[in-house]
Amino acid sequence: MTFLTDDPIDQQALIDAVLRRSDGALALFAGVVRDHHAGKAVESIFYECWRPMAEKEMAKIAAEVAAAYPDAAIAFVHRLGLLHVGEASIVIACASPHREEAFSACREVIERVKKTVPIWKREKGPDGEEWVGWQGQ
């Protein structure tokens, strides 16, 4: 599967990809563009990515989290390009026979994506645009 998309994320497709008849729990997480960051107003975020490396890292995360939670089925997609307030940048779906694994796997995926996947955001507000995370802009 591919972990990146340039289009709005199809949440139902992710659910359909993971949910089995044996599952009693489905955890869904969405990262959403919010209207502020570090005290500044945000209107939109542009997400840029190094695609081959990001796909590779996300596949590694999927495999390692699946190995850590063998009863869970996991699917996730990150969206790229220009997103406005309220739009989902990432959606993660984890299904499991019981809720504990579904919640834990879902949490693990988002924490790891934020740490290592080469995706960058440039926030746009009334005062201009800025890459997030670089000291001494």
| Selected binder of another protein within 9, 14, 49, 105 (CB under 8 A) | 49
Quote the CA–CA distance of 44 and 36 in Å, as a whole number: 10
Rank residues 81 and 118 by Cβ distance to another protein and give the closer one: 118
Beta carbon of residue 76, minimum distance to another protein (angstroms, whole number): 10
115 binds another protein (CB under 8 A): yes
95 binds another protein (CB under 8 A): no
Burial class (CB in 10 A: 0-12, 13-18, 19+), 103: middle
Q: CB of 6 within 8 A of CB of 62? A: no
CA angle at residue 106 from 101 to 110, to 5 degrees? 150
59 binds another protein (CB under 8 A): no
Beta carbon of residue 95, minimum distance to another protein (angstroms, whole number): 21
Q: CB of 46 within 8 A of CB of 119? A: no
51 binds another protein (CB under 8 A): no
Q: How many residues bind another protein (CB under 8 A)?
A: 30
